[in-house]
């Protein structure tokens, strides 16, 4: 589906990214599978509340190989573009190895969730932080206005309330407050933001709300259709 504000395709981004034009993207902001499902000890069932989903989803079980998409990220990104990839503790090394040597600079941001899923049995840390690896070249865009904005730490609740889609429910829908903070910091109005692991297009909604254009790819038809609806509604706001 293509409009003047967004262009999205359904399918495997490892293949479809080859159709994205060279040097056409100002910001890659993406949230690939974390491959955490295979470390799961199973969903936790309760009589008195919704089950805790530790198993994530089937798409999380397929081994993700960052080195198989890193060159394509570099190809589609403009030389002054920025790259932000959400990653988990188990994949950060692979993402770092795949990307660091391809850019002038690498750093990371931490997203601290103020309302993480509780650990009912108090048998470990809460999963209250997520890591976002960032890479850029000299001369890249950066829109900081004050020192406070420059902390590589961002605090917000997980996505809930009216923002959280009910049908379909996406297990890892990210909050717009966090995504908008990154889009605002790392791109300009009129720029193109790309998310090859789009989910239900949260990155796209953040981009459109901030007058950027959006390109997205999503494997699952259910989420792709939800993205179409969400992006169309946001375009008409």
Which of 170/180 has CB closer to ligand SAM? 170
Angle separating helix axes 202-209 and 176-186, nearest 10 degrees = 60
Q: How far is CA 144 from the centre of its chain?
A: 21
Judged by CB under 6 A, the residue of 25, 77, 109, 174 near ligand SAM is: 174
65 belongs to the binding site for ligand SAM (CB under 6 A): no
- Which residue's CB atom is positioned nearest to ligand SAM? 199
Least Å distance, CB 72 to ligand SAM, is: 12
The answer to whether the beta carbons of residues 130 and 86 sit under 8 Å apart is: yes
Report residue 199 as tokens: 């989910």
Least Å distance, CB 93 to ligand SAM, is: 19
Closest CA to 163 of 140, 150, 179, 151: 179
Least Å distance, CB 139 to ligand SAM, is: 28
Burial of 95 (0-12, 13-18, 19+ CB in 10 A): buried
Least Å distance, CB 85 to ligand SAM, is: 11
228 belongs to the binding site for ligand SAM (CB under 6 A): no
Cα–Cα distance measured from residue 49 to residue 209, given in angstroms and rounded to the nearest whole number: 34
Pick out residues in 187-216 that bind ligand SAM (CB under 6 A).
197, 199-200, 202
Which of 47/167 has CB closer to ligand SAM? 167
220 belongs to the binding site for ligand SAM (CB under 6 A): yes
Burial of 214 (0-12, 13-18, 19+ CB in 10 A): buried
59 belongs to the binding site for ligand SAM (CB under 6 A): yes
Residues near ligand SAM (CB under 6 A) are 12-14, 31-33, 59, 170, 172-174, 197, 199-200, 202, 217-220, 223
């Amino acid at each position: 589906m293509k409009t003047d504000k967004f262009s999205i395709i359904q399918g495997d981004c490892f293949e479809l990214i080859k159709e994205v034009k060279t040097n056409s993207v100002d910001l890659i902001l993406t949230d690939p599978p974390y491959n955490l499902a295979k470390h799961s000890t199973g969903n936790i069932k309760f009589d008195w509340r919704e089950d805790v989903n530790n198993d994530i989803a089937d798409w999380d079980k397929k081994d993700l190989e960052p080195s198989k998409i890193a060159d394509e990220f570099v190809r589609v990104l403009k030389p002054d573009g920025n790259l932000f990839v959400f990653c988990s503790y188990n994949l950060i090394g692979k993402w770092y190895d795949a990307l660091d040597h391809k850019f002038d600079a690498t750093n990371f941001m931490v997203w601290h969730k103020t309302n993480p899923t509780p650990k009912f049995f108090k048998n470990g840390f809460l999963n209250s932080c997520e890591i976002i690896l960032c890479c850029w070249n000299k001369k890249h865009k950066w829109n900081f206005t004050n020192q406070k904005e420059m902390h590589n730490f961002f605090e917000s609740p997980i996505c809930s309330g009216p923002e959280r889609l009910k049908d379909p429910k996406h297990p890892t829908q990210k909050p717009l407050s966090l995504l908008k903070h990154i889009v605002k910091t790392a791109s300009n109005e009129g720029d193109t933001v790309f998310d090859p692991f789009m989910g239900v297009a949260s990155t796209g909604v953040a981009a459109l709300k901030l007058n950027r254009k959006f390109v997205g790819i999503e494997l699952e038809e259910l989420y792709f259709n939800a993205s179409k609806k969400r992006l169309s509604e946001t375009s008409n706001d």
